[in-house]
């Protein structure tokens, strides 16, 4: 439900900023970077706090509720600082919920089925995204099917419709999600001092975080992929249909990728995924026609499905069970804090050089990170 709401409002937000508010790419990069990075501290604290209190569900509900309250106010946005404030609030909600939610999934799963569990989680999330983008495409079809650029009226309609599933998501979590006993039992063994300290974790976990930071520095906000698609001549309707296709591929791949990682190992799966990412970003850099965007987004869905859930399962392999909340806080925090410079750099490269420049940069760093993962992080 949350993904239905987010895909209708947040995924289309870069088009609203560029087409309606006429915001330049460096500012869009700044907004997206700040929005993601502001969640970092809360991801660290909420993960540690969920370990200490053993109350992962309460933190998860709080985070989803805050995001559900923030998004409807995008209806009133008339300047980019307003959008920044609302994106900040939405991401604070994400920061509160993400680490406890990931730990809740891990607590509910046997260690030898982590890949399957996180793959299923991503599949369900992505199924919601497909529904959300499908609804958005339907609204765009009826309101502005021939328009290359998004209109204010269309975006406001998307915001209003998206409020319903956001509220339903909170109610469903409250009613249906149960706290595993394991979280409460493990909480008693967590030290209250030095929140989010990395000392309990292995060198392999720290090395993986360092490599992940290198990769993420080139993995700027997906807003730039959307803007690149429009830059190559795709209309708003076409962009939404492309995103539906991307999420459909992502959804289909996530669960099998998780199952394969349980059987054959996660390090190689992540390295292969990053190699695919490098080729995709190189493709976005050299693309010159709309049809190429469709192919690249299909491959991007393959990359996402093959790596995101597997990466989170890999984190669970590297950290103690009673430190999962803190461990996921560190993982999500390391990624989140790097998104700000990544998106600012991408926006600057786009405007200072060309729309292709940020994609060359991302491809290069993905290649370096993939090599580092294989060469330095031994099984």
Q: At what angle do helices 223-231 and 25-37 cross, to 10 degrees?
A: 160
Tell me the mean pLDDT in the region 68-72: 92
CA distance 116 to 103: 15
**Residue 285 pLDDT exceeds 50:** yes
| Torsion angle of the four alpha carbons 197, 199, 202, 207, in this order, in degrees rounded to the nearest 10 | 60
**Residue 322 pLDDT exceeds 80:** no
- Please, what is the average pLDDT of the chain? 85
DSSP per-residue codes, 95-127: HHHHHHHHHHHHHTS-GGGHHHHHHHHHHHHHH
pLDDT of residue 330: 82
Tell me the mean pLDDT in the region 301-312: 81
**Residue 80 pLDDT exceeds 50:** yes
User: Higher pLDDT residue, 262 or 270?
Assistant: 270
pLDDT of residue 193: 42
CA distance 262 to 258: 6
Structure tokens at 158: 């998307």
pLDDT digits (tens, 9 = 90+) for 24-49: 999 999 998 898 888 777 777 887 78
Q: How confident is the model at residue 327 (pLDDT cuts 50, 70, 90)?
A: confident
**Residue 198 pLDDT exceeds 80:** no
CA distance 244 to 317: 32
Tell me the mean pLDDT in the region 158-181: 84
With beta carbons less than 8 A apart as the criterion, state whether 24 and 351 touch: yes
CA distance 151 to 338: 32
Domain covering 2-177+199-376 assigned CATH 1.20.1250.20 in the classification: yes
With beta carbons less than 8 A apart as the criterion, state whether 319 and 201 touch: yes
pLDDT digits (tens, 9 = 90+) for 85-126: 999 999 899 888 887 888 787 777 777 777 677 767 767 777
Phi/psi at 5 (5° precision): -65, -45
pLDDT of residue 364: 96
Q: How confident is the model at residue 379 (pLDDT cuts 50, 70, 90)?
A: low
pLDDT of residue 77: 94
pLDDT digits (tens, 9 = 90+) for 218-229: 999 899 999 999
pTM, entire model = 0.83
Q: How confident is the model at residue 374 (pLDDT cuts 50, 70, 90)?
A: confident
């Amino acid at each position: 439900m949350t993904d239905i709401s987010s895909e209708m409002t947040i995924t289309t937000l870069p088009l609203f900023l560029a087409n309606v508010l006429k915001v330049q790419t460096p500012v869009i990069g700044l907004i997206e970077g700040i929005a993601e990075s502001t969640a970092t501290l809360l991801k660290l604290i909420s993960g540690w706090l969920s370990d200490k209190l053993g109350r992962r569900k309460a933190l998860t509900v709080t985070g989803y509720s805050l995001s559900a309250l923030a998004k409807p106010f995008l209806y009133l946005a008339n300047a980019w600082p307003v959008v920044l404030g609302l994106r900040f609030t939405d991401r604070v909600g994400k920061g509160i919920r993400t680490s406890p939610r990931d730990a809740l999934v891990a607590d509910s799963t046997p260690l030898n089925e982590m890949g399957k569990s996180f793959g299923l989680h991503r599949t369900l999330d992505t199924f919601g995204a497909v529904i959300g983008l499908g609804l958005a495409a339907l609204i765009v079809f009826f309101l502005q099917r021939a328009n290359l650029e998004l209109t204010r009226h269309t975006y406001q309609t998307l915001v209003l419709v998206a409020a319903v599933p956001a509220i339903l998501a909170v109610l469903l979590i409250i009613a249906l999600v149960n706290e595993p006993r394991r979280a409460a039992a493990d909480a008693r063994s967590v030290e209250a001092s030095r929140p989010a300290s990395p000392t309990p974790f292995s060198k392999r976990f720290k090395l993986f975080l360092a490599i992940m930071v290198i990769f993420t520095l080139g993995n700027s906000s997906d807003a730039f992929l959307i803007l690149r698609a429009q830059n190559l001549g795709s209309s708003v309707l076409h962009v939404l249909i492309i995103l539906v296709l991307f999420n459909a591929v992502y959804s289909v791949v996530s669960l099998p990728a998780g199952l394969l990682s349980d059987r054959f190992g996660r390090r190689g799966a992540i390295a292969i995924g990053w190699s695919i990412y490098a080729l995709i970003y190189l493709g976005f850099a050299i693309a010159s026609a709309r049809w190429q965007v469709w192919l690249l987004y299909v491959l991007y869905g393959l990359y996402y499905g093959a790596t995101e859930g597997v990466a989170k399962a890999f984190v669970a392999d590297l950290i103690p069970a009673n430190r999962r909340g803190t461990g996921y806080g560190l993982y999500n925090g390391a990624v989140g804090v790097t998104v700000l410079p990544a998106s600012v750099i991408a926006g600057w490269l786009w405007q200072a050089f060309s729309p292709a420049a940020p994609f060359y940069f991302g491809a290069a760093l993905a290649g370096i990170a993939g090599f580092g993962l294989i060469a330095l992080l031994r099984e």
